[in-house]
Amino acid sequence: MAEQTISTARMCQHIRDWPSADSPFFFSNSSVSMLACGARSRFQQSLSRPRLAATVNNWLQAQRHDRHDNPIAFGVIPFNESTPARFVLPQHTLISEPLTPPIAPDFWPENPLLSVTSLPDAESFKHSVKSAIAQMQSGTLQKVVLARALTLGFTNPLQPEQLLLTLIQKNPSAFNFCAPLSDVQGQGKWLLGSSPELLIRKQADHFSANPLAGSRKRASYSEQNRELEATLLNSPKDRHEHAIVVAAMQQALRPFARRITVPRSPSVISTGTMLHLSTLIEGTLTGDHHVLELAAALHPTPAVCGQPLAAAHQYIQLSEPFSRGYFTGLVGWCDAQGNGEWAIAIRCAEMHGQSLTACAGAGIVASSQANEELTEISDKLSTILQAAGVSPQALNFAGRCAAQKATVNG
């Protein structure tokens, strides 16, 4: 596989030329930007978590030209095992330093919002939260993450390069990604997002993970944010929610690790729209473990599913009236040596034609308040909505129009 290092200016130009590229896959972090172009080989299959690492590794080993060749595959892994995992081994990969603002034009062509559909509606979501809390009080659940899906219909077809460049500009240090969800060039179905959350990174025998749980909406001024950070760090509800995630991830990683380092207390990280409690877990592996072996042991974490895992997953399946697809799944890369980096697919949306479906979730614990969790989801959705140029006013107007149309048709 050919790799070429280019300037950030050229990387931006390649993204702007997205429509002419062959099924490009973009992935970046705070250190590097990668644009994979073309497809030397594809892999698409529904897999159980225990089979994931071996199956993908066997496919990658078969692509090696010789023992010195180290092909890199990019992929998306779903929340539910019934949805196919999708991997592509590109023809060539362009690499640059991180893209930093300003990289997007100040003005994109106007694309008016026509319709808004939310699943579940607000009252149904609050009912699910209250039902989950009742199960926690009876001891069935410790935590469950409940999500909403917001589908927006626009006047004109959406352009992935516009949304991607805007997401990068607004969230330059996030895991920014744009992954094709169709195998045929021109079908135009994409997964795009700016995730703040690293599930697992592995290089040789070193690994790191950065779970996030416990959130506040970011304020406009630094003084307000300092006050919010202090509130978040001293919130028993948010600290409890965060501790559940960290403890579960430690337990999942322990069989693979010779050493694990975990801070005693979380810190706070900031995104373009949110503040999150954060714990950086690092360690050394006992042997030659594949990054996807670690990912399969961790995913889905209590940060996106709940605890106990089986009970939380069942509650999600029964209460969420939509399929998560790749939302709260994984997006990233791995190589033929078992190294790689995988972020959790949050603050993301699926784009197809004139439609954009964004999802966001909130962690529910026994002390949660339904109205507050509903607000948290709206705050998290703003990452995608702002990048798509959708204001709260436009969202409310389109929602009212959709409701009036449904009344007339009914």
Residue 394: inside a domain: yes
Beta carbons within 8 Å of 290's beta carbon, 6+ residues apart: 53, 54, 57, 202, 334, 338
* Predicted confidence (pLDDT) per residue in 204-250, tens digit: 999 999 999 999 999 989 999 999 999 999 999 999 999 999 999 99
Angle between helices 291-298 and 236-253 (to 10 degrees): 140
78 burial type by CB count under 10 A (0-12 exposed, 13-18 middle, 19+ buried): buried
Q: How far apart are CA 50 and CA 56, in angstroms?
A: 11
Q: How far apart are CA 190 and CA 177, in angstroms?
A: 10
Locate 313 and state its tokens: 């997953």
**Which structural domain, as residue segments, surrounds residue 223?**
2-100+111-409
Q: Is the pLDDT of residue 15 over 80?
A: yes
Pick from 380, 21, 9: which is nearest to 193 by CA? 380
Q: What is the largest CA-CA distance in the chain?
A: 67
Q: Residues 260-267: what's their mean pLDDT?
A: 96
Percent of the chain clearing pLDDT 90 (strictly above): 85
Catalytic residue among 143, 170, 202, 380: 143
Q: What is the DSSP string of 291-306?
A: HHHHHHHHPSPTTTSE
CA angle at residue 368 from 367 to 370, to 5 degrees? 145
Catalytic residue among 161, 170, 197, 380: 197
Q: How far apart are CA 241 and CA 250, in angstroms?
A: 15
Residue 287: inside a domain: yes
Q: Is the pLDDT of residue 286 over 50?
A: yes
Q: Point out the least confidently predicted range of 32-46, 138-152, 180-194, 280-294.
A: 180-194
Residue 128: inside a domain: yes
Q: Is the pLDDT of residue 409 over 70?
A: no
Q: Is the pLDDT of residue 402 over 70?
A: no
User: What's the confidence (pLDDT) of residue 148?
Assistant: 97
The pLDDT-based confidence of 408 (bands split at 50, 70, 90) is very low
Q: Is the pLDDT of residue 338 over 90?
A: yes
316 burial type by CB count under 10 A (0-12 exposed, 13-18 middle, 19+ buried): buried
Find out whether 365 and 241 touch, Cβ atoms under 8 Å.
yes
Asked if 320 is an active-site residue, the reply is: no
CATH number of the domain residue 11 falls in: 3.60.120.10
Residue 258: inside a domain: yes
The residues facing 276 across adjacent strands are 215, 269
* Predicted confidence (pLDDT) per residue in 362-396, tens digit: 999 999 999 999 999 999 999 999 999 998 766 77
Average pLDDT, the chain: 93
User: What's the confidence (pLDDT) of residue 87?
Assistant: 97
Q: How far apart are CA 361 and CA 147, in angstroms?
A: 4
Say how many domains are in the chain: 1
CA angle at residue 247 from 244 to 248, to 5 degrees? 85
Pick from 388, 323, 380, 396: which is nearest to 355 by CA? 388
Q: Point out the least confidently predicted range of 1-5, 116-120, 298-302.
A: 1-5
The pLDDT-based confidence of 95 (bands split at 50, 70, 90) is very high
Q: Is the pLDDT of residue 407 over 60?
A: no
CA angle at residue 150 from 300 to 309, to 5 degrees? 20
Residue 212: inside a domain: yes
Q: How far apart are CA 336 and CA 405, in angstroms?
A: 53
The pLDDT-based confidence of 406 (bands split at 50, 70, 90) is very low
Asked if 143 is an active-site residue, the reply is: yes
User: What's the confidence (pLDDT) of residue 401?
Assistant: 61
Q: Is the pLDDT of residue 79 over 50?
A: yes
Residue 305: inside a domain: yes
pTM for this structure? 0.94
The pLDDT-based confidence of 188 (bands split at 50, 70, 90) is confident
User: What's the confidence (pLDDT) of residue 23?
Assistant: 83
Residue 106: inside a domain: no
Which amino acid appears at position 139 of this protein?
A: G
